[in-house]
Structure 1
Amino acid sequence: MTQVSVDIVSDVVCPWCWLGLRYWDQARALVPEIQTETVYRPFQLDGAVPREGVPYSDYMKKKFGDGPDDRFKMMREHLEQAGPAAGIKFRFSGIPVRPNTLDAHRVIRWAQGQDLGEAASERLHKAFFEEHLDIGDAAVLTRLAGEIGLETDIVGNLLASDRDRKEVLEEEQFFRRLGVQGVPCFIFNGQFAVSGAEAPEMLADAIRQAASLPQTDDDAD
């Protein structure tokens, strides 16, 4: 069976990323004859957010404004309409904290080492957008990690340390240097990229295209 390797660069506070991940799942089902290996890569939309986080509504108003041309309001309404078809119920109203996501990316990194990267990414998005949990909080992250099958004692101890902080930041910078400026970004076999939450059919076409290209040794690692 042909295999395609896909790096998905995303952030867990990015609603387009969650929508894109659901579209990705649908896209893979459209091409069952092609095996895909998905690797989740870190990208912080705003690494300057303090580790304790900031009030969500204040942060978004500062970022997008709250005037008559409120871009956040328009984006939110679009996502709330598009979400149900992908099995997502975005609940922007009431999100208490805009967290720093570095620790969340560390958890995804550890989960990926146990073949649980997809489960971790899905669980963290759901926790933030539907359940309004503070996914920058170590106790919350530890509990969520346990829900997907990671050892909570180990995760809690790792989060209390600086383990893999440097590695996550270096990995993020690697993809920024490649030219990734927005997420989600799907990189196929290290050869070409599709940016944004594109429709499943378009992502499926990208899988077919990647499968048809000569394989190289230049895939991101």
Structure 2
Amino acid sequence: MQIDIFSDTICPWCLIGKRRLEAALAERPGLQAAIHWRVFQLNPMMPKGGMERQSYLAMKFGGPKNAANVYDRIRSAAMPDNIDFAFEDIVRTPNTVDSHRLIRWAAGQDRESETVEALFQAYFLRGEDIGALEVLVAAAESVGLDPAEARAFLESEALDAEVRDEDRHARSLGIDGVPCFVFNGRHALAGAQPPKVLVQMLDLAQQEAAVAVE
């Protein structure tokens, strides 16, 4: 089964959705799933260097008080998933093009989901700037990728156009928020749904695939 996940590396609901998909897959241990992470940028017009966090919160939520209310709702939703978000440690909201480039590069070395996890942990659990070269190189190294090769890749323009094209393609499909899970290219499920809902979708996609080969 192929599962395509449209996601952004600064989306807390995408980390929650990742945990919930992992829980759903654990309920179906015999299922072989190929997971691919697809590009969606929450802030496609973000400056290349990102934005200072407080300025971003003022623009996005109207200020830190409103942002704190949003954070509280996210933390409450994430409690069953055992995610300890460190929102207050984030000092910069990055442009996510380079993090998406790194994920696509890592996919060619069979480290796609591992790299996504490393980036989520760096940003949401430690408050690191995942738009910064050194942070991205460290994330690559943490999943077993060669840091010198990762640095050379990130310092180039490789895959930049492809990432931006994929973001536009996602929007052309009608995707306007993330996470969005697509199962076998047929069934889309938007949002960080509970594991039981994801299990139902896994079962449906598997049943349809079995019928198709009969």
Q: TM-score, normalising length from structure 1?
A: 0.90
In the alignment, the residues of structure 1 paired with residue 201 and residue 180 of structure 2 have an alpha-carbon distance, to the nearest angstrom, of 12
**Secondary structure class of the residue paired with 1:213:** helix
- Does the alignment pair 1:196 with 2:191? yes
In the alignment, the residues of structure 2 paired with residue 123 and residue 81 of structure 1 have an alpha-carbon distance, to the nearest angstrom, of 23
Q: CA deviation at 1:148?
A: 0.6
Mapping for residues 21-170 of structure 1, pairs under 5 Å: 21-66=18-63, 71-170=66-165
**Secondary structure class of the residue paired with 1:7:** strand
Show structure 2 runs of 5+ residues with no match: none
- Number of matched pairs: 212
Alignment deviations for residues 20-47 of structure 1 (CA, whole Å, 9 cap, x no partner):
0000100101122322110011111002
CA contact (8 A) 2:8 2:41 kept: yes
Alignment deviations for residues 136-189 of structure 1 (CA, whole Å, 9 cap, x no partner):
011210111011111111110111110000111112222211111100000011
In the alignment, the residues of structure 2 paired with residue 114 and residue 195 of structure 1 have an alpha-carbon distance, to the nearest angstrom, of 28
Question: 2:208: which partner in 1?
Answer: 213
Show structure 1 runs of 5+ residues with no match: none
157 and 62 in structure 1: CA distance in 2 versus 1, 3 angstrom threshold: same
**Secondary structure class of the residue paired with 1:163:** coil
In the alignment, the residues of structure 2 paired with residue 103 and residue 150 of structure 1 have an alpha-carbon distance, to the nearest angstrom, of 16
Amino acid at match of 1:137: A
Q: Which has the higher helix share?
A: 2
CA contact (8 A) 2:89 2:126 kept: no
Amino acid at match of 1:41: R
In the alignment, the residues of structure 1 paired with residue 79 and residue 48 of structure 2 have an alpha-carbon distance, to the nearest angstrom, of 31
CA contact (8 A) 2:54 2:63 kept: no
In the alignment, the residues of structure 2 paired with residue 15 and residue 177 of structure 1 have an alpha-carbon distance, to the nearest angstrom, of 23
CA contact (8 A) 2:138 2:147 kept: yes
Q: CA deviation at 1:64?
A: 1.4
Amino acid at match of 1:98: T
Q: After the TM superposition, which parts of structure 1 deviate over 6 Å for at least 4 consecutive aligned residues?
A: none
- Does the alignment pair 1:187 with 2:177? no
Amino acid at match of 1:179: G
In the alignment, the residues of structure 2 paired with residue 203 and residue 142 of structure 1 have an alpha-carbon distance, to the nearest angstrom, of 33
Q: TM-score, normalising length from structure 2?
A: 0.93
Amino acid at match of 2:165: E
Q: CA deviation at 1:51?
A: 1.4
- Identity between Structure 1 and Structure 2 (%): 36
